[in-house]
Amino acid sequence: MLVVDDDLALAEMLGIVLRGEGFEPSFVHDGDKALEAFRETRPDLVLLDLMLPGIDGIDVCRQIRAESGVPIVMLTAKSDTVDVVLGLESGADDYIVKPFKPKELVARVRARLRRTDDPTPELLQIGDISIDVAGHSVKRGDRHIPLTPLEFDLLVALARKPRQVFTREVLLEQVWGYRHAADTRLVNVHVQRLRAKIEKDPEHPEIVVTVRGVGYKAGPA
């Protein structure tokens, strides 16, 4: 796990907590070195502070996302709409607002690292998209579509029950692991990112369809 944070004390504290939970964190304190460190360590998850010296967290997030689908969890002091949405749009999977409890942090991290070890091979089909759940791959025809694990989980959650409408709250629980209702912007932003990858025309989605006033569903309207 890679922790990108400029605050040494916080980084050390995060290290204590994460090690206590059995993770092996490595640290980088500078936005400029974050990408380099990422390439070296190949972490399973990145904890990223949004406010960093050098390149700021949003740019780091974009750089990492550009070459990897690794789960990224942002640490942010601002819960204001703009910052959070900007962070999510730059590729972060989830965010935690400071100050947070250690348990909350660990829960978020575990939720992102959780791999549904499904031994039975499962093949799903929505529209012209085929999903190999065990093989963790999504194809349109023969063409492979690269998705981040989170986007994949979101798509699988929808595709397992085609035509069923999922509210944003239910998706938050199933995909992100929130037990209490949290920020539904997470869902909106990631549905848009997912659509940008799998839809032929993201403006007129056919795979992930919005049900006005309720939520989303997979498959034709």
Q: Is 10 in the site for another protein (CB under 8 A)?
A: yes
Q: Is 9 in the site for another protein (CB under 8 A)?
A: yes
The residue among 76 and 148 lying less far from another protein, judged by its C-beta, is 76
Provide the angle, in degrees to the nearest 10, between the axes of the packed helices 185-198 and 149-160: 90
The residue among 101 and 163 lying less far from another protein, judged by its C-beta, is 101
User: Cα torsion at 35, 41, 46, 51 (round to 10°)?
Assistant: -40
| Alpha-carbon separation of residue 43 from 66, 85, 205 (angstroms) | 15, 24, 33
Q: Is 13 in the site for another protein (CB under 8 A)?
A: yes
**Least gap, CB of 51 to another protein (angstroms):** 6
Rounded Cα distance, 127 and 48, in Å: 36
Q: Is 78 in the site for another protein (CB under 8 A)?
A: yes
Assigned token pair, 55: 């390149």
Q: Are strands 129-132 and 137-140 parallel, antiparallel or unpaired?
A: antiparallel
The residue among 20 and 220 lying less far from another protein, judged by its C-beta, is 20
**Least gap, CB of 76 to another protein (angstroms):** 9
Q: Given the rule CB under 8 A, which residues bind another protein?
A: 7, 9-10, 13-14, 16-17, 20, 51, 75, 77-78, 80-81, 98-103, 105, 181
